[in-house]
Amino acid sequence: MNTLKDVDAYISAAPLRAKPKLQEIRQTLRTLLARAEEKIWYGVPFYHQDGEVVGFATCKNHISIGVGAEVFSEILRQKLIRAGYQTGKGTIQIRFDQSIPVAEIEAMLKAKLKRNATRKKGN
């Protein structure tokens, strides 16, 4: 999927069972990040606003959403784990049968946007 030109192409090339969740995640991120630029970056859908914000990728049994470790608090991580989600250092894994944890993602995106804006002002 590294040669795909846009997010529509990425979703079209994904396995059939991943497409509904990819579309749902995309719409969620577009809603939460209305001013962000959407593009393919490093072969996956990514959103930039004053710097990188979030990306997502389809895997065999889940969608991985990467927000970065710097905004992934231990409180949010434990809340997600208790709700049945797998997490990585800066990622949330959402199985195809799970709902999107919108409130938790929104909290991390707000922190990331604030961090990006602060960094931009400092340059």
- What digits encode the pLDDT tens for the residues 35-89? 999 999 999 999 999 999 999 999 999 999 999 999 999 999 999 999 999 999 9
Say how far apart CA 73 and CA 114 lie, in whole Å.
15
pLDDT band per the 50, 70, 90 thresholds, residue 1 = very low
CA distance 94 to 65: 8
Banded pLDDT at 4 (limits 50, 70, 90): confident
Would you give the DSSP letter of residue 51? S
pLDDT tens figures, 17-26: 999 999 999 9
pLDDT, mean of residues 99-113: 95
pTM: 0.91
- What integer pLDDT is reported at residue 119 of this predicted model? 82
Q: What is the CATH number of domain 7-122?
A: 3.90.1150.200
For 42, other C-beta atoms within 10 Å of its C-beta total 9
Query: Rounded to 5 degrees, what are φ and ψ at 67?
Result: -110, -15
What would the mean pLDDT of 89-103 be, rounded to a whole number? 96
**Domain ranges, ordered by start, for the chain:** 7-122
Chain centroid offset of residue 81 CA: 17
Q: How far is it, in rounded angstroms, from Cα 32 to Cα 112?
A: 12
What letter represents residue 77's amino acid? R
